[in-house]
Amino acid sequence: MPTDHQINFASYLEGLAKREDRAALAHLRRGLGKPPGTTPEMFPIIVPWTHSMREWDADIYYLVGALFGAHPMNTDKGNFGDTCRIVHSRRRAHRGGGDDEGVDSLERRFVALLNAHHDDLQWHLRHAVHLAAGEEVPVNWAQLLYDLSYWTHHDRFVQRRWANSYWGGGGAAESEDQATE
């Protein structure tokens, strides 16, 4: 469960989107594809939230901030496995329910995300968030912050939870609730 700090940060980001603060969102997007914490335009937005954190924890805020800038749709339901499941089902529906190569590649990409070393997460997440944006599927940004903070945990509980959500999770009603927020 996300901490109050993570929930408040996600709410702060959501406030930027609701206010249509295009400059702030553009500053966040500038962090895409760059090592976390190396984009000075992001500092005024992120540093107030991270100034007393360890580097790895702060890096997660930079990563999530950059991803949010690219897809400022938030939900308070589910985890990133749910988000990927909804994207997969919508893309399958666009293709008439077929099991073609494009849809199956989403599953391979999700497996690659689950296997990703924390240094490579930004590349996998950037692609997945781009797909979510294309399908207008919101992301639970507070939960993503929490999950990424435990990505390297020895029992891989985050990856297992995402896998459970992707392959075994949520009925159609839950998926539609998340997708329409």
- The pLDDT of residue 102: 57
Residue 181 has pLDDT above 60, yes or no: no
**Rounded CA gap, 29 and 64, in Å?**
10
Residue 172 confidence (pLDDT) above 60: no
**CATH number of the domain residue 166 falls in:** 1.10.520.40
Total number of domains in the chain:
1
pLDDT for 96: 62
Digit-coded pLDDT (tens) for 134-145: 999 999 999 999
Residue 116 DSSP symbol: -
Tokens of 166: 């992707």
Q: CA of 178: how far to CAs of 40, 41, 43, 73, 173, in Å?
A: 33, 31, 31, 11, 9
pLDDT at 179: 46
Confirm if 142 and 78 have CB atoms less than 8 A apart. Answer: no
What tokens does 18 get?
């609701």
pLDDT at 153: 96
Q: Is the model more confident about 96 or about 11?
A: 11
Rg (CA), the chain: 16
Rounded average pLDDT over 74-78: 96
pLDDT exceeds 60 at position 171: no
Identify the CA nearest to 109 among candidates 92, 95, 93, 88.
88
Q: How confident is the model at residue 52 (pLDDT cuts 50, 70, 90)?
A: very high
Q: What range defines the domain where residue 96 resides?
A: 1-181
**pLDDT tens per residue across span 95-138:** 665 555 555 788 999 999 999 999 999 999 999 999 999 999 99
DSSP 33-95: TS-TT--GGGHHHHHHHHTTS-HHHHHHHHHHHHHHHH---B-SSS-HHHHHHHHHHHHHHHT
Residue 75's nearest CA partner among 3, 124, 158, 132 is 132
